[in-house]
Amino acid sequence: MTTPPALLIAGHGTRDEDGAEALRALVHLLAARHPDVLVAGGFFGLPGSPMPLDDAVDELAERGATRVAAVPLLLTPTGPGTATLPQALERAAVRHPGLGFACSAEPGPHPRLLQALEQRLDDALGSGARRPQDRARTTVLLVGRGASDPYANAEVARAARLLWEGRGFAGVETAFVTQAAPDVPMGLDRCRALAAAAPGSDGPNRIVVLPYFFFPGGLFERLCMQTEGWAAAHPDTEVYGAQAIGTGAEVAEVVMERYRETVAGGAAWPAAAVAARAGER
């Protein structure tokens, strides 16, 4: 019986222990659900992470893996000027020439992740969140990390449109914590103005600030501070803060789907080929 390739879950750039703990939980969940697959996880793209991707690759090699299917835990591309997963895998292959690597596509706004976002919205709003009249007076501000790459920021706008379709919210706007406009206060201003201009707006409108990233940590804390500051200056508007997507069952299902697609695509290839393949996308 052929041993299945190992699964390497690759997060991007965090030094935050809360983010590392969330990734550890995802690794443990998938390992428990799929005991026939070696599973490890780590972060690439930022030195000083508490869970470096190199350590995860070393662990898989020590446990006997010969093929590794890497799934990037990314909602948007990393953008130019930052380390990419294929580059990180290429360096790992130099240290472990016996390992073959394959790299999946990032999850992006996968339908299950949109369901997870909707659940975070409902959790933030509490009881009655799914009633049409409640949703009709709710505007969502979907907040991405922000990047210098306009294509990465455009992915947040795409997710916002998909989240809005058919769910009954008054609107879904976008903002970014860093590097891109609009920032969070500007996004909240826009949500407030649109709610006030909406036909039939005769009651208190509300805004839900929804993080579009997987992990809690410093970025999430900065978002909370920006949201709380704006809410204090606008007491006439109800503002709710949702949690990050996290790494629960929905995310585990998406990661495993990407893993299976990658394995079914054929034999693993060397990391140098991974870099060339990624450049073709």
Which pairs from 190-195 meet CB under 8 Å and 24+ separation? 191/139, 191/140, 191/141, 192/234, 192/237, 194/139, 194/170, 195/137, 195/139, 195/170, 195/171, 195/237
The per-residue pLDDT for range 51-68, each reduced to its tens digit, is 999 999 999 999 999 999
Question: Does residue 106 have a pLDDT over 50?
Answer: yes
| C-alpha to C-alpha distances, 123 to 5, 36, 129, 219, nearest whole angstrom | 37, 34, 8, 20
**Would you call 240 helix, strand, or coil by DSSP?**
strand
CA proximity to 234, closest of 198, 202, 187: 187
pLDDT on residue 84:
81
Q: How confident is the model at residue 278 (pLDDT cuts 50, 70, 90)?
A: very low
User: Which part of the chain is CATH 3.40.50.1400?
Assistant: 6-107+247-279, 111-241
Q: What is the pLDDT of residue 266?
A: 59
pLDDT at 203 over 70: no
Look at domain 111-241 and name its CATH class.
alpha beta
Give residue 272's pLDDT band: very low, low, confident or very high (50, 70, 90). very low
Q: What is the pLDDT of residue 232?
A: 96
Q: pLDDT at position 129, please?
A: 57
Q: Which of 49, 139, 113, 97 is nearest to 246 (CA)?
A: 113
pLDDT at 204: 59
Q: Name the burial class of residue 117, with classes exposed (0-12), middle (13-18) and buried (19+) by CB atoms within 10 angstroms of its CB.
A: buried
Task: State the CATH class of domain 6-107+247-279.
Answer: alpha beta
Separation between Cα atoms, residue 33 and residue 110, nearest integer Å: 21
User: Does the pLDDT at position 251 exceed 60?
Assistant: yes
Determine which helix (DSSP H) or strand (DSSP E) holds 114, and give its type and residue range: helix 111-125
Q: Please state which of the ranges 65-74, 180-189, 262-271 shows the lowest mean pLDDT.
A: 262-271
| pTM for this entry | 0.88
Query: Tell me, what's the pLDDT at 201?
Result: 55
pLDDT band at 179 (very low <50, low <70, confident <90, very high): confident
* Angle at which helices 111-125 and 249-264 cross, to 10°: 170
Confidence band of 47 (pLDDT split at 50, 70, 90): confident
70, containing H or E segment: strand 67-72
Describe the strand order of the beta sheet including 39-44 as a list of residue ranges.
Answer: 39-44, 6-12, 67-72, 100-103
> Sheet holding 138-144: strands in order across?
171-176, 138-144, 206-211, 238-241
Higher model confidence: residue 203 or residue 98? 98
pLDDT at 277: 42
Average pLDDT, the chain: 87
In eight-state DSSP terms, residue 34 is: -
Higher pLDDT, 150 or 84: 150
Q: Report the amino acid identity of residue 187.
A: G
Backbone angles phi, psi at 241, to 5 degrees: -110, 125
